[in-house]
Amino acid sequence: MTNLEEIIKFLNNVPLFKPLNRRQLELLAKRVLDRDYPAGATIVTQGKGGEGFFVVKSGKVEVVRERADGTKSVVNTLSDGDFFGEMALLDDGPRTATCIAVEPTKCYVLPRWDFVAVLREEPDMAVVILEEMAKRFRAALDVL
Ligand code: CMP
């Protein structure tokens, strides 16, 4: 199987990309970058700017939020098919949390420009992202 076919096969099984047809998946597969992170690597850092949107291909990522008083907590643990890094790209603001690979982790990364372009082209995908953001916001409110 070619690398492109492998990527399409994976993306096809990610719930976020369910609304996309074969042609759209192929366009997406051509835009994503393959990234490998060793256990312990920081993938995105709270407070820094955002360059990309991440889909976990394999491994495990902890989302760690640092409060104003310096205390930290793990707010989510993500694995195969989960996504993160959408927030800073949507409002061009700082990352809201630090995402750390807690085991060797592979991600597909969609650069900012491509992420915004795909959302404009695929409103159904934007809705799936909004639904997940609403769930995460609800869960965050529960711990306040
Ligand atoms: P972003 O702010 O770009 O970078 C950090 C990411 O962590 C963020 O996008 C979300 O994808 C994710 N994230 C932040 N806060 C939470 C939370 N409370 N629950 C789950 N995921 C979160």
pLDDT (tens digit per residue) in 68-115: 999 999 999 999 999 999 999 999 999 999 999 999 999 999 999 999
pLDDT at 38: 98
* CA of 62 relative to ligand 1 center, distance in Å: 10
CATH numbers and ranges of domains, the chain: 3-143 (2.60.120.10)
Q: Which residue do the tokens 């795909």 mark?
A: 118
Q: What is the spatial distance between Cα 139 and Cα 124, in angstroms, rounded to a whole number?
A: 23
User: Ligand 1: residues whose CB is within 6 Å?
Assistant: 44, 50, 63, 65, 75-76, 84-88, 95-97, 99, 136, 140
Q: What is the spatial distance between Cα 71 and Cα 46, in angstroms, rounded to a whole number?
A: 13
* CA of 26 relative to ligand 1 center, distance in Å: 27
Q: Quote the DSSP letter at residue 103.
A: S
pLDDT at 1: 66
